[in-house]
Amino acid sequence: MDGLDDIVEEFLVESHENLDQLDTDLVALEQEPDSRERLSSIFRTIHTIKGTSGFLAFGRLEEVTHVGENMLSRLRDGVLDLTPERTSVLLRMVDTVRSLLASIEATGGEGGVDVSAVVAEISAAMEDRSVPAAVPSPAPAAAPAAQDVVEAPVAEPVAEPVAEPVAAEPVAAAAVVEAAEAVVEAVVEAAAETVQEEVHEEHADEAHDEHAGAARPEGQGGQQGRRAVADSTIRVDVDLLDSLMLLVGELVLTRNQIVQYVGRSTDTDLVRASQRLNLIASELQEGVMKTRMQPIDHIWSKLPRVVRDLGLQCGKTVRLEMEGKDTELDKTLLEAVKDPLTHLVRNSVDHGIESPDRRRAAGKRAEGVLTLRAKHESGQVVVEVADDGAGIDPSRIGAKAVERGLVTADQLSRMGPQDVLQLIFLPGFSTAAAVTNVSGRGVGMDVVKTNIESIGGTIEVESEPGRGTVCRLRIPLTLAIVPALTVECAGDRYAIPQISLQELVSLDAEKAANAVEEVGGAPVYRLRGELLPLVRLTDVLGLTSDRHDGHVVIAVLRSEGRRFGLVVDRVINTEEIVVKAVGGQLKAIGLYSGATVLGDGAVALILDVQALARRALRTETAERQEAREAAARTVAAETGRQRMLLAAIGEGRRVAIPLDTVTRLEQVRTDSVERVGNREVVQYRGAILPIVRLDRHLGAYGTSDREVLEVIVYSDHGRSVAIVVGEILDIVDGGAAVRSDIDDLGLLGSAVLGDKVTELLDVRAAILAADPAFYTAPVPTPSSTAALLEV
Amino acid sequence: MTTPTDTPTRATSGQLATFRLDGDLYGVEVEHVQEVLRSQVLTRVPLAPPAVAGLINLRGQVVTAIELRERLGRPPRPAGTDAVVIVVRLHGEAVSLLVDSIADVVDVDAADFEAPPDTLDGQARELIRGAYKLDGTLLLALDVQKAVGA
C-alpha cells in the first residue's frame, strides 16, 4: 500500500495549500461577486479535491465537495447569486473539508466527521433562490453513484470539457470500492492502478488538446503554470533544515574561534584562508537562514477569513488591508507569532472597530479598516496591527487596573497616557465587559506579550482615542544566531543581545565622579539632559567588581519603553552568538535567557535584559522616569497638532515654539534694554517687560551686537515676558515631524521640522528664566493686560 | 532501559559506573553515562543554587555542572584537587556531575541490594536509592534523576 500512501500524502499537502487559497478567494469574492476568474479558481480547487477524493475512495469528502461544486457551478453560470449566506455555507464546506483532511491525515480514514449537516445546508442555500426544477439538488446522503448521475447535467455543459471526464472516472471507481468494503485493500490497489493509468491517458489527452490550440478553458492553462512553479522548488523536511541550522551555528562559533586565533598570527597565508573562511561561513549562514525564511503571508493568509467571520458575528464590516506580505522571517518564529497575531486581529475587530452605526455617528466610514503591516527594520521584523476604531481610552484602562488592584490610584495618577495603555499587558487584566465568543477565551494580552517575549521580541501599543489603535510587534529575524555585545563583569563575560542595546557610554574616573549622581540613594547619570537610572551588574549578580580605577562603562539598554544604564566593568566586543538553551535550574533564576560559547571556547551567559530591568530598576526610579517621559510625550502629542513658530538662535540652531504661546512678535531697539539687578528688561506699552535671551538660556552664543532685537512676547494672566531670538524664520505645522527625545536643559526634545532638526523649547522653563514669579505671583498692574487685548 | 525514578528503592541488576566522593564509593547506571571528562573550565552562574558549579563547554554544547559534594551535603573538595566530570544524559538533555575520581564499571546483583543505610543523613538519603554490598565495600547507588534536579 506504499504507493497509495504516497498518493494520499501528496493529495493532503496539495489540498491544504488549495484550501488556504480558497479561503482567500471566497472572502475576496464577496467584494467582487462578479469576478468569473475567482469563481473559476474556486471551482477548480473544489473540483480537484472532489476528483482526487473519489479516486482515493474518500466517500464523504467527495460528497461534500460534490454539492459544493454544484453550487459553485451555478454561481459561476449566473444561475445563482452570491449572498453572504451562500459564502458562509461555502466557507463551512471548506471547514468540513479541512476536518476531513485532518482526520485522513491522522488516522488514514475519514473518521467520525459528519458531513450530512453541511450537505443539507448547501442544498438549502441553493434552493432558497428559485432553482430550475430540471436540476435536482442532491439528497444529503446520496450514494456516490447517484451523485454521479446528478452531476453530469449540471457540470458538463460548463467550460470544463477535458477535466470533467477525469473526475467522473474515479468517482465510478470509488463506487466500486465502496460496494466491496470487505475486500478493501486488494480492490483499492487494483482500482488505484487502473485509475492511475486512466489519469495518465487523460493527461495525454490534455496535452494533445494543448497542442491543438483549441479554445481551452483558462483553468487548464493556470494548472500548467502551477506545475511549472512546482518543478523549480522541492519540499524539504524542516528537521533537516533545523539540523543544518545547528551545524551552521557551530560553524559560526568555530569560525569566530579561528578568526580570533589567526588574529594573533603573522602567517599571511593563514590569515588569508581565515578571511575566506570568515566570508564563506557568513554567506552559508545567510543562505541556510534564508531556507528557513517564509513570507509572513503564510500566517496572514488565514486572517481574511478570521476577520470576515468575526465581522459578521459582531455585526461589523471590516476591510482587511495588508502591507508587506513578502516580509520574511524564520519559520519557527512565524509559527510562534501566529497565535499572538491572530489574537491581536480578533481583538481589533471585536473591541477596536466600532459598529457601523457608531462609526457613522463619529463621522467615519461605516466600513472599518484593519491594516496589517510588516517590514524589516534594523535587523528585526516589525509587524503592526492597526485599526481605525475607537481607540483605547486610557482613563477606562486606568480605572480597570486600579479596580483589579494592578496599580494603586496614586501610581496611576503619576503615569502618562502611554504608560497607562501598557497596563493592558499585565496578567489579570481584561476590559471586555462581557465574555463574548471572541474575547474571554482565557487568552489575554499578557499571554500575547509572554509569547512574543519568549521568542525575544517586544510588543507595544499606541492608541489615539477616536482614531484607532496600533499594536506593534518587534521580532528578531532568527532565534538561532543573534548579534550580541560581550561585556566583562567581575572577571566573567556576559552577552547582551544587541536588540536591547542603544548606546555605550564610557566615563573616565574624573568625569564619572561628577557625572554619576545619587538620587534618593539610586545612582543616575545625566545623559544629554535626561536622567538615566543606573544598575550595576555586580550588584544584581551579587559579585564584587574588579575595576578599581573609577572608570565607569555604561551600556544604555532599552526594555519595555524604559531606558536604563547597565554598569559593567569592561566592554569586550560585539560578536554573533549562537543561543544555547540552559537547563531548568538556570532558567528558574530568571536573569539569563540562555548561554553561548564565545570565540575562545569559554561559556558566557546571555543576560535577559527585560528580566534584568524588572528586577533591578527600583519601582520609584522607574516611575519617576515614566512620569518624565509621559510629560515629554504629552507635550510631544500636543505639539503634534500644533503650529510651531520657528526661530534661529545662533550657531545654526533652530528652536520651535508652540504658536499658541506666542502673543505678539515685536522688535525692540537694543539700546532700549535696561537692567534691573542682573535681569534685562524693556519698557513696553507702559509696563516693564522682563527679557530672556534664548541663545544664552539654551547655551548658544548668538550675535548680540544687533541694533534691533526680535522679541516674542508671551502674556498670560496679565503678566508678560519677552523672549529674544536671533531671527524669526517660519511658522510650520508640527504634525508631520519626526521626533526624538534627544534633548538638553531647557528643551523638551527635538524634531525634524522643515527638513532640519529643530529643538522644541520648554516654554515654561524659558519664561521662568525671565520671570521666576510668572506663574505664581498675582497680576502686578492692570495696565499690562493691554498687551493681551491688542492682539 | 530502566529509569531509577520508576523504581526508586527496588533492587536492579546491571552495570553501574562507579566513582569516589569524599571517601565513599557511588554508582550510576551505565546507560545514563555519556562520557567522563578530566577537569573542565567552569563558567560560574551568579545567583544559581549552590549545587550548580557552573557551565561547561562540551564540544559546543553548554552543559550545567552539578557539584555532587554540595548535593550530598559533603564538605567542599580540598583545594588543589581537580574534579572529574561525569556527563549523564537524561531525557535527551546532558547534565554533568562533578566527582572526586572515577572508578570501575561494576556488575551488581539485585540480591546484594539493601535500602539506604540509616546512618545517611536526610539530604543525602533522598538521592541514594540504596546500597550494594560488594566485597569489602559498600556501593551507594545514586538516583541520577534526583541528583541533577538541583
Instruction: Report the distance separating Cα A759 and Cα A654, nearest Å.
Output: 6
Q: Which of A250, A586, A596 sits opposite B45 (nearest CB)?
A: A586
Instruction: Note whether A589 contacts B150, CB cutoff 8 Å.
Output: no
Q: Residue A657, exposed/middle/buried by CB under 10 A (0-12, 13-18, 19+)? A: buried
Instruction: Report the distance separating Cα A602 and Cα A324, nearest Å.
Output: 41
Q: Which residues of A touch B150 (CB under 8 A)?
A: 585
Q: Which three cell numbers stand for residue A784?
A: 499690562
Which chain A residue has its CA at the smallest distance from B43's CA? A603
Q: Which residues of A touch B48 (CB under 8 A)?
A: 585-586, 589
Instruction: Report the distance separating Cα A14 and Cα A160, nearest Å.
Output: 21
What is the ipTM metric for this complex?
0.86
Q: Does pLDDT of B26 surpass 90? A: yes
Task: Tell me if domain A2-231 and domain A295-474 are identical in fold.
Answer: no
**Spacing of C-alpha B97 from chain mean position:** 6
Per-residue pLDDT tens digits for A5-43: 667 777 777 777 777 777 788 788 777 777 777 777 788
* pLDDT recorded at residue A486: 93
Instruction: Report the distance separating Cα A333 and Cα A457, nearest Å.
Output: 10
Instruction: Report the distance separating Cα B150 and Cα B146, nearest Å.
Output: 8
Which chain A residue has its CA at the smallest distance from B61's CA? A580
- Going by C-beta distance under 8 Å and a sequence separation of 6 or more, which residues neighbour residue A21? A41, A45, A301
Q: Which of A253, A543, A603 sits opposite B55 (nearest CB)?
A: A603
Task: Please tell me the distance in Å from A489's CA to the nearest CA on chain B.
Answer: 11
- pLDDT, mean of residues A149-157: 40
- Going by C-beta distance under 8 Å and a sequence separation of 6 or more, which residues neighbour residue A577? A481, A482, A483, A484, A486, A495, A596, A598, A604, A606
Q: Which residues pair with B64 in a beta bridge?
A: B55, B95
Which chain A residue has its CA at the smallest distance from B55's CA? A603
* pLDDT recorded at residue A433: 45
Q: Which three cell numbers stand for residue A34?
A: 462578479
Q: Which of B46, B48, B57 sits opposite A603 (nearest CB)?
A: B57
* pLDDT recorded at residue A149: 40
* pLDDT recorded at residue A223: 43
Q: Which residues of B touch A582 (CB under 8 A)?
A: 55, 62, 64
* pLDDT recorded at residue A729: 76
Confidence of residue A743 (pLDDT cuts 50, 70, 90): low
Q: Does pLDDT of A640 surpass 60? A: no
| Whole-number Cα distances in Å, A780 to A716, A784, B24 | 12, 8, 93
Q: Are strands B93-99 and A603-607 parallel, antiparallel or unpaired?
A: unpaired
Q: Measuring CA to CA, which residue among A406, A1, A437, A60 is closest to residue A188?
A: A1
Q: Which residues of A touch B44 (CB under 8 A)?
A: 492
Q: Which of B43, B52, B60 sits opposite A250 (nearest CB)?
A: B60
Q: Which three cell numbers stand for residue A584?
A: 531548568
Instruction: Note whether A583 contacts B95, CB cutoff 8 Å.
Output: yes
Query: Residue A644 in contact with residue A707, Cβ under 8 Å?
Result: no
Q: Does pLDDT of A228 surpass 50? A: no
Whether pTM exceeds 0.80: no
State the count of interchain CB pairs (< 8 A) between A and B: 57
- The most confident of the ranges A16-20, A407-411, B47-51 is B47-51
Q: Which residues of A touch B57 (CB under 8 A)?
A: 597, 601-603
Scanning A589-693, the segments in alpha helix (DSSP H) are 609-616, 619-640
Query: Residue A556 in contact with residue A613, Cβ under 8 Å?
Result: no
Is residue B53 within 8 angstroms of chain A, CB to CB?
Answer: no
Q: What is the CATH number of domain A2-231?
A: 1.20.120.160
Q: Does domain B14-148 fall into CATH 1.10.1200.10?
A: no
- Going by C-beta distance under 8 Å and a sequence separation of 6 or more, which residues neighbour residue A545? A489, A490, A536, A538, A569
Superfamily name and number for A641-789:
CheA-289, Domain 4 (2.40.50.180)
**Spacing of C-alpha A737 from chain mean position:** 23
Q: Which residues of B touch A543 (CB under 8 A)?
A: 46
Query: Residue A431 in contact with residue A400, Cβ under 8 Å?
Result: yes
- Provide Rg for chain B, Cα atoms: 15
Q: Measuring CA to CA, which residue among A712, A698, A692 is closest to residue A771?
A: A692
* pLDDT recorded at residue A485: 93
Q: Which residues of A touch B93 (CB under 8 A)?
A: 583
CATH for A295-474 (3.40.50.620, 3.20.20.70, 3.30.565.10, 3.20.20.80): 3.30.565.10
Q: Measuring CA to CA, which residue among A642, A749, A653, A753 is closest to residue A695?
A: A653
Can you tell me whether residue A365 is helix, strand or coil? coil
Q: Which of A581, A602, A605 sits opposite B57 (nearest CB)?
A: A602
Q: Which residues of B touch A254 (CB under 8 A)?
A: 60
Cα torsion angle, A430, A432, A435, A437, sign: negative
Confidence of residue A740 (pLDDT cuts 50, 70, 90): low
Per-residue pLDDT tens digits for B72-127: 888 998 888 889 999 998 887 889 999 999 999 999 888 888 888 777 777 778 88
Which chain B residue has its CA at the smallest distance from A248's CA? B60
Q: What is the CATH number of domain A481-627?
A: 2.40.50.180
Task: Please tell me the distance in Å from B69's CA to the nearest CA on chain A.
Answer: 17
The number of C-alpha atoms within 13 Å of A413 and in the hemisphere containing its C-beta is 3
Local structure of residue A437 (DSSP, 8 states): S
* pLDDT recorded at residue A66: 85
Q: Does pLDDT of A135 surpass 70? A: no
Instruction: Note whether A541 contacts B47, CB cutoff 8 Å.
Output: yes
* pLDDT recorded at residue A488: 93
Domain ranges of chain A: 2-231, 238-291, 295-474, 481-627, 641-789
